[in-house]
A and B are shown apart, each in its own frame.
Chain A
Amino acid sequence: MSTGIINEILLVELVIFLALAIVLLVLLIWWLIRKLVLVPTLTVTTDKAEYLRGETVKVSGTLKDGTTPLPGKTVSITIEPPVGDAYGLPDVTTDSNGAYSADWVVPANAVGGNYAAVASAMGVSASKAFKLE
């Protein structure tokens, strides 16, 4: 085999090696970013769309990083009425599935109208509207 052909083969091998190295480097950087930068997603919902005074509003949701649950994180929940002061619920902690839940008993003197259950965790917020007759 001539020296020229050998050099060409070595060159092709070098190009393939460099291409693979670049792909591996990009994958490594992507993995590191995913590990270091959390992108939490918070959901919140209520068990019903409408309530009466004295009923219990069951607020629940999940906190995840993509599809990965974020357990042991504090979730703050507030019930925002149409007018007047909001109701602060005790903080709750996400379980191993990233799920959380809290109950709020609608006070007898609560004003009627459109409410919102607002949840916050790790700097992100979510809300779910519901109605009080």
Chain B
Amino acid sequence: MTSVTLKKFGIPALILAILSLSTGGMLYTTKMFEEGQLKLTIPSEARMLAIGVGVYWDITCTGPVIKIDWGSLSPGETKSVIVYIKNTGNGPMTCSIASDNWNPSGANQYFDLFWDFGSTPLDASRVRKTSISLHVHSDISGITNFSFNIIITGTG
């Protein structure tokens, strides 16, 4: 989680490193100067809400996805996780992804949430391997940590 490197950053970086390590790197936004650029790493998580489908960590669909810990994100960075979407209904379904309940409100303007599920309907009892990605805009500012809901909806 902690992405501080001490190379070239001296005592201030050392203090930040100790501070960040002492909290597991989760509670503080870690700031450092890297070749003149201010770099932010932002702790985050997303709660998963699935409607009409199941979202799992494994292909056998035994571990439901309750939340996604994106870890610490840097401006301009895209992080992805692999999940498995299962059609738990009786007929083909198309699926969509959305987000809401951003905290802090307005944080969503700095992020793009997308996936590669595609538009092909998912037949009943079928399981599709899907990548869900979160991109952080490079001009993000004023966000020290954030959370939001991911809503995956299956429509038959």
Contacts and interface: CB of A to CB of B under 8 A. Distances in A.
B123 interface: yes
Contact of B127 (A78, A119, A123): A78
A63 interface: no
A17 interface: no
Best-surrounded residue of B59, B86, B128 (most CB of chain A within 10 A): B59
A99 interface: no
9 contacts: A76-B61, A80-B59, A85-B122, A85-B126, A88-B86, A90-B125, A120-B62, A121-B62, A123-B62
B58 A85 contact: no
A88 B61 contact: yes
Interface of B: 58-62, 84, 86, 122-123, 125-129
Contacts, number: 40
Contacts of A120: 58, 60, 62
Main DSSP-derived SS at the A contact region: strand
A70 interface: no
Nearest to B122: A85
Contacts of B128: 85-86
A83 to B, nearest CB: 11
A78 B60 contact: yes
Interface of A: 76-78, 80, 85-90, 118-121, 123, 125
B58 A125 contact: yes
Contact of A87 (B58, B84, B127, B129): B127
A85 B62 CA distance: 17
Contacts of B127: 78, 85-88
A76 B126 CA distance: 13
Best-surrounded residue of A76, A85, A86, A118 (most CB of chain B within 10 A): A85
Contacts of A87: 125-127
Nearest to A86: B127
A87 B129 CA distance: 12
Given A119-B60, A123-B62, 9 more contacts: A76-B60, A76-B61, A80-B59, A85-B126, A86-B127, A86-B129, A87-B125, A87-B127, A118-B60
A76 B125 contact: no
